[in-house]
Chain A
């Protein structure tokens, strides 16, 4: 899957379609959604709800983009998010400490709980990377198994009960508004800009595209392939930890079973946003547009009272359709 057209020509519609297809689709969708919802969709209040809803999946998408650019995948991303949210809540709040059924996690105060959760998240990502890259086990199996394991760990840490009383900090953060938009949205967009810059302007970022496209050639040209692949998994884990913080500030609540529906939405958004599953192709901007598109779609379906289960099925069809379409455009 190499990009054959280096210089897009105006005569050939395919590169144009690839470049402007998604924004055009988004615009058409907004018009259609406004019509279908009788104007409800385009209300500023609703738009800010969409942004808020996008922020968690958006952060997950940013993380998984790093791994997918190297040609891997992280299916444990939601598991890491939930575990770090649980750690933030369990170790950061005295009230929650009294509610826990066991004392595996000590009380360390909100700040150190946050730090601990992020470190654990990054370490789990690192572990995914090491097992998958060093031992050559396909990343989907490693991360699926990691997800299974983390579900067990989450149950163990909480004794099965949900975290109801995270530190107040998260609620305050989730309700702070700047220009009418809640703080988590700024966190999401800030992270997106930071990661966009990392991928565009750092040696690591540029190398990641090269090694995703052709790991062997990258190795020969002196890129530390293994180290960068593991680093991509580590970043993905860390970013999933950040998503855990946003999850707490949005819901004020987390259970070991939380977030079950987020994985498919994340993959759908990345894929719709044009990030290639075989590595080396895609961008943060595309992925973020993919998230905004799918969040708008799910928002519209909520307005139209379509059941969340049907929405899951629709996400599935979106993944299939988007990849088929992008394969058709490439060949």
Chain B
């Protein structure tokens, strides 16, 4: 969503450094896929790619929610819990009818988002703690709706679990959501307001951006998106699971940062963040392909998250240094 025309295209000649800098997430993904194909013969099979993409769909929608919140310089630790709540609500009411069940599931997510948003804006609770509290609330409600996983055997849901080559329903839903949201954030005044708030809240307020309202709406939207992820999860696995997604809040942050979004807001592109999701899931998939013990996988994942965020911070510092230098008037 950077608003500048791409410098790689303007001016005379083609600048490799700028091109790589702008497309780093996509290039990293391509390199990773090539490596995957080389080290594991199973990696590039249709079945594995289909699984990889449909797994990415759930995390991808969560990451889209996380992306919006990080863009306004917040964090949302409740995305995975809200997803779990929505999945059990959907599964619980599916026997009545899929449409009302989906509406209730999305409403539960929007409700959670509205509560978080209200406490962040009106109560001035730090986003981190407000969403941590919402994590507890949503999980508590999820387990209250159902202590155990709920099977959904509605014929329509079963039909939707089919796939065509590498294309699956979750993947299509994910791509449609990501595409619509990208266009919306890129084109709308709302998207511009989000960037401004993430850049510097006081400045945005002085410039007339409705800061509190925008922030509230972002948390509501994040709740709604997390709920959609819950529905997609049910389509993928045919069950609503109250304990699903432990640790996915961190995975969503890591994926968004992998996709080049600034950790403290104000800068980022949703399509790149989605590429970050694919990178994260490809690494996870490859760890399975090479048969790494699942206990070690958690450890590797934690190290990846720390490394990714660490590099993200390093980048922020560097760009700050560049800005400082520019302000002083020093030339590079």
B-binding residues in A (CB < 8 A): 73, 131, 135-138, 140-142, 144-146, 148-149, 151-153, 155-156, 160, 264, 267-268, 271, 277-278, 307, 309-317, 319-320, 323-324, 327
**Contact of B250 with A144 in the complex, beta carbons under 8 Å:** yes
Query: Which residue of the partner chain A has the closest CB to B298?
Result: A152
Interface residues of B in 98-134 (CB under 8 A from A): 115, 119, 122-126, 128-130, 132-134
Give the docked Cα–Cα distance between A137 and B303 (Å).
13
Q: Which residues of A contact B124 (CB under 8 A)?
A: 324, 327
**Contact of A324 with B125 in the complex, beta carbons under 8 Å:** yes
Q: Which of B122, B126, B130 contacts A278 (CB 8 A)?
A: B126
**Contact of A152 with B313 in the complex, beta carbons under 8 Å:** no
Q: Which residues of A contact B210 (CB under 8 A)?
A: none
**Contact of B136 with A316 in the complex, beta carbons under 8 Å:** yes
Cβ proximity bits B225-259 to A, threshold 8 Å, 1 near / 0 not: 00000000000000000000001011001000000
Q: Which residues of A contact B147 (CB under 8 A)?
A: 309
Interface centre among A141, A278, A313, A317 (most CB of B within 10 A): A141
Q: Which of B123, B137, B309 contacts A316 (CB 8 A)?
A: B137
Q: Which residues of A contact B249 (CB under 8 A)?
A: 144
Q: Nearest Cβ distance between residue A129 and chain B, in whole angstroms?
A: 14
Q: Nearest Cβ distance between residue B236 and chain A, in whole angstroms?
A: 23
B156 at interface, CB cutoff 8 A:
no
Q: Nearest Cβ distance between residue A67 and chain B, in whole angstroms?
A: 14
Give the docked Cα–Cα distance between A310 and B139 (Å).
9
**Contact of A141 with B305 in the complex, beta carbons under 8 Å:** yes
Q: Which residues of B contact A142 (CB under 8 A)?
A: 306
B302 at interface, CB cutoff 8 A:
yes
**Contact of A145 with B302 in the complex, beta carbons under 8 Å:** yes
> 15 A-B contacts, Cβ less than 8 Å apart?
A136-B317, A137-B309, A142-B306, A144-B250, A153-B295, A264-B136, A271-B129, A277-B126, A311-B140, A314-B140, A316-B135, A319-B129, A320-B125, A320-B133, A327-B123
**Contact of A313 with B306 in the complex, beta carbons under 8 Å:** no
**Contact of A264 with B126 in the complex, beta carbons under 8 Å:** no
Asked, given contacts A144-B250, A277-B126, A316-B134, whether A135 binds B298 with beta carbons under 8 Å apart, the answer is no
Main SS at interface, chain A = helix
Closest 9 CB pairs of A and B: A152-B298, A313-B140, A324-B123, A316-B137, A312-B140, A316-B136, A149-B302, A309-B143, A319-B133
Q: Which residues of B contact A267 (CB under 8 A)?
A: 129, 132
**Contact of B310 with A137 in the complex, beta carbons under 8 Å:** yes
Q: Which of B119, B122, B136, B250 contacts A315 (CB 8 A)?
A: B136
Give the docked Cα–Cα distance between A146 and B309 (Å).
13
**Contact of B144 with A310 in the complex, beta carbons under 8 Å:** yes
Q: Which residues of B contact A320 (CB under 8 A)?
A: 115, 119, 123, 125, 130, 133
Q: Which residues of A contact B126 (CB under 8 A)?
A: 277-278, 323
**Contact of B296 with A156 in the complex, beta carbons under 8 Å:** yes
**Contact of A264 with B132 in the complex, beta carbons under 8 Å:** yes
Q: Which residues of A contact B128 (CB under 8 A)?
A: 73, 140, 277
**Contact of A307 with B132 in the complex, beta carbons under 8 Å:** no
Q: Which residues of B contact A323 (CB under 8 A)?
A: 119, 123, 125-126, 129-130
Give the docked Cα–Cα distance between A137 and B253 (Å).
13
B299 at interface, CB cutoff 8 A:
yes
Q: Nearest Cβ distance between residue B107 and chain A, in whole angstroms?
A: 17
Q: Nearest Cβ distance between residue A307 and chain B, in whole angstroms?
A: 7
Q: Nearest Cβ distance between residue B175 and chain A, in whole angstroms?
A: 28
Asked, given contacts A135-B313, A316-B133, whether A146 binds B302 with beta carbons under 8 Å apart, the answer is yes
Supplied contacts A145-B303, A309-B140, 5 more A-B pairs, CB within 8 Å: A148-B301, A152-B295, A323-B123, A323-B125, A324-B125
Q: Which residues of A contact B133 (CB under 8 A)?
A: 264, 268, 315-317, 319-320
Query: Which residue of the partner chain B has the closest CB to A151?
Result: B298
**Contact of B313 with A136 in the complex, beta carbons under 8 Å:** yes
Give the docked Cα–Cα distance between A169 and B323 (Å).
60
